[in-house]
Structure 1
Amino acid sequence: MSCGPVCTNLGLKPGQRLTVKGKIAPAAKSFVMNLGKDSSHLGLHFNPRFDAHGDVNTIVCNSKNVEQWGTEHRETVFPFQKGAPIEISFAINPTDVTVHLPGHQFTFPNRLGLQVFDYFDAQGDFALQSISWE
């Protein structure tokens, strides 16, 4: 996967939302967006897979504490299309993160108990066009 932009010192707290806009590559296999304290402490590893690691049209989410990955969570609703623009929002809540996708949303628990999400990165078959938070 290609490495994309990295944002630090975001200061996202419960009640705030991070919105990411971009375009999925025409020949996409997968892409990743990570939210957390830093690259070693990820509260949310968000990984839509078109055809990667044995998964087809599946969103795989996880958490990482230093080098220890948690249990994978899979979402079978897959609102992504290769070559298409996409907008994804991550709403920070006290105990979880709500992922807002076109026509679908789901929550992922804040397994690390993070009070503040300072870190975001995007990588893989996705061209980031804008990032905003409120």
Structure 2
Amino acid sequence: MSVTAINMKTLPFISKDIFQCEMFILYCLLYFSPFTYFVSLNITKERKKCKELMKMMGLHDSAFWLSWGLMYTAFIFIISIFITIIITSTQVILMTGFMVIFTLLFLYGLSLVSSYVYLHCLHLSS
């Protein structure tokens, strides 16, 4: 039996101007930095204050982390939508869908928040 191969077309990642496009995307990614820093500071301050009160009320640590996680996931979701709308409306990136850009920004924002919280927890424990 013989095997035949067919080259399939894939849509390329096309951009307008290389330097301006990269700088614009870099600035869009940097929008997450102040937000995630604020999140990490807020969570560590609240963790110090609420930890003992939550234990007196009979709540577990999972209730605290779930509430903060859901709230900041919603914030990142909204910010990711806005940045994705900006990127797609200015047509900095051509031939790439809205959902692909949104998913990348959303996952990037979640990873930033989790890394900042992790680093602050390590800093507080040492």
Structure having the larger proportion of residues in strand:
1
Q: How high is the TM-score relative to the length of structure 1? A: 0.21
Structure having the larger proportion of residues in helix:
2
Q: How high is the TM-score relative to the length of structure 2? A: 0.22
